[in-house]
Amino acid sequence: MELMTIFILVVSATAQTVTAVCRETDAVCEFWLSVENRLTMIHGRDLVVPHDGKLYRWDTTNFSSAVPVSPDDVITADGWTESRMVAVVNGTMPGPAIDVFQGQTVVIHVANHMMEETTSLHWHGLLQRGTPWMDGVAQVSQCPILPFQSFTYRFKVDHAGTYWYHSHVGAQQSMGIFGALVVRSKTHQKVVDKHVMILQDWNHDWDSKMSHMKMVYGMYKNQRLIAGTSTLAGIRYSMFHFQAGLINGKGRYYNEPGRHNGAPLETFTVKEGTSNRFRVINAGAVYSFRISIDLHPLTLVALDGNDIKPLTVESIIINPGERVDFTILANQQVDNYWIRGRTLEVEVNNTVEAILHYEGAPDTEPTSSRQTCTPKDCCVVFNCPFLFYPLGSHTACITVDDIHSLDNTQVPDDKEHFKEYFLNFAFPGNSWTPGSVNGRVLQMFPSVSALTQPDEVSFHCDASKCGEDKLCKCPLVLNLQHGDTVQMVFLNLGMGKGWDHPIHMHGHQFYVLKMGYGRYNQTDGSFIGDNTDIDCRGNSNKSLSFCNDATWSDRTWVGGNVPGLKLNGAPKKDTVMVPSGGYVVIRIKSDNPGLWLMHCHIEIHMLDGMSMLLNESFPNVPPPPAGFPQCRSFRP
């Protein structure tokens, strides 16, 4: 009898791979997601080849008379014709967008159809208030979903905004297991709101596991060491080998500068005279992108799902894990325009493209050019990880702490129940330099579901090896008391500074009160030195301090008395870039009991250990639903 029941359940989870459409009036929305392996550039069982923005069967000889293959049925990625294996949701990359309304209960059945890998899905940006065991972090909030098993997520979405889902097992996110999650407000606005733009960096030779292994053990290609690249401010970039950028799974491989393989691009169609909202998500493994649309200024309206006072800019920088919503007015001639993206590296021209197509315009590629920045018409860029572009480029930066929330909310400021933590996200160390937070590395996850099997959690680590100017394989766990106002100062300092880390907090949207940048040469934008507001302590030779035990240089700033904090109208985010040589002050109220991961959203930095845990109001954590899966090691 029991066997029979299980059998029926499995059938229902696999048979319905089509995502249900949810209506505004529905109280509960149900979706079926199947996680499976696929190959790129295959249609049915036929290999396809790119030509002039279209796809054709592999044996096509005369492209002008051949009928193209629909790109909707193909995982094209960058159009490279040696198929690469991917792991995707419901057969597409990105997976289907989950589109729901504020206040609804969402039920998502996730079936793992990969033969040899576990999985779990995290709902990035959702608070999971009252349902912390639905956060989808394998071995933190649940047991991993084993091959051929399914797991049903059930949670309420109470805040409208742009979110996304992705695997939280190993490197599966950049293998293709991700998609958009849009929570719509029930009050209707006058803008067309159908465009989701998911960005991603791509390597068609190596999957992420291979990239990570190369990162850790040696990054070679064609018997040559791959050199790292850097940003304008001289901040090092990861050596992840970027071969293409993708928008909604589509991009082009450039064999050499200016020459690409003609793979199809994503097209966003707008009607002349309308205002259009774009929900942009960076689902990439490593790279930040600067995005602009020719002749169309971008009006920012929301960050990480939180409405802000609108602000018009020439371009936005979006870091892995972040979302930026902007609107554009389709007020130009009926035509096609380039949507352009570039990574922030200066030595290479790593780009991504898509097409803004006006209804009625011909089906051709745009011929538009990028806005030229002049002293009179300066280009404003939002979200720079540094402060200055070179003087002659007539480009100015606006940073996250320049933004105002739309509702002007008051930031929690309870001085009686106030806690402050300095957290340094860095790669310090001499011979062994994994990613760490205050010198603590989270590479080995618990062997159980930590949140729901709390009595069985052990980290198998020697805490005596942790400390000032030390590195240890013991995760950092902050125990947060219920009701406290918690201020965190994210740092990127000490001997392990470098890169710029987009730090993502699960279970919260934090207020960004202040950003502290390093010092820069205002003429060429280059980095001069660290921000001096922070005292790293540790080694008296500043360049050797790990910065594991930092505080404010001016001790009167301790306890929430930092000058220049934005306590009214601070923007709320769940992911924020911590600039190299600088810091970010954020605040939350500890009011969401659970066990929450906090980590760098550069996938390879996270795999390398740059993660920590917030153990929030443990006595108030609600019990999981009856029958919630358990897992553990076995020893007879």
Residues lying near Cu ion in the complex (CB under 5 A) are found at 501, 600, 602, 605
DSSP 463: G
**Smallest separation, CB 591 to Cu ion (Å):** 28
Percentages (nearest 5) of helix, strand, coil residues in the chain: 10, 40, 50
Cα–Cα distance measured from residue 463 to residue 357, given in angstroms and rounded to the nearest whole number:
58
Asked if 94 and 144 count as a contact pair (C-beta separation under 8 A), the reply is: no
**Smallest separation, CB 184 to Cu ion (Å):** 32
The CA-to-CA distance between both ends of the chain, in Å, stands at: 30
Cα–Cα distance measured from residue 628 to residue 142, given in angstroms and rounded to the nearest whole number:
8
280 alpha-carbon distance from chain centroid? 11
Cα–Cα distance measured from residue 320 to residue 603, given in angstroms and rounded to the nearest whole number:
9
Q: Give how far Cα 46 sits from Cα of 6, 42, 54, 93, Å.
A: 36, 6, 15, 18
396 alpha-carbon distance from chain centroid? 24
Nearest CB to Cu ion, comparing residues 159 and 605? 605
Asked if 374 and 394 count as a contact pair (C-beta separation under 8 A), the reply is: yes
Nearest CB to Cu ion, comparing residues 452 and 492? 492
30 phi, psi to nearest 5 deg: -120, 135
**Smallest separation, CB 631 to Cu ion (Å):** 29
Nearest alpha carbon to residue 497 among 400, 399, 600: 600
The DSSP bridge partners found for residue 413 are none
Nearest CB to Cu ion, comparing residues 237 and 338? 237
Nearest CB to Cu ion, comparing residues 246 and 600? 600
3-state secondary structure (DSSP) of residue 619: helix
174 phi, psi to nearest 5 deg: -80, -5
Cis upstream peptide for 50 (omega within 30°):
no
Nearest CB to Cu ion, comparing residues 94 and 579? 579
Nearest CB to Cu ion, comparing residues 278 and 427? 427
Cis upstream peptide for 94 (omega within 30°):
yes
Nearest CB to Cu ion, comparing residues 235 and 291? 235
Cα–Cα distance measured from residue 585 to residue 327, given in angstroms and rounded to the nearest whole number:
29
3-state secondary structure (DSSP) of residue 543: helix
Nearest CB to Cu ion, comparing residues 139 and 492? 492
Residue given tokens 């009011």 in the structure block: 591
Residue 622, token pair as written in the block:
């609600």
Nearest CB to Cu ion, comparing residues 207 and 500? 500
DSSP 82: S
Nearest CB to Cu ion, comparing residues 108 and 602? 602
Nearest CB to Cu ion, comparing residues 478 and 600? 600
Q: Give how far Cα 229 sits from Cα of 235, 349, 528, 549, Å.
A: 9, 11, 18, 30
**Smallest separation, CB 600 to Cu ion (Å):** 3
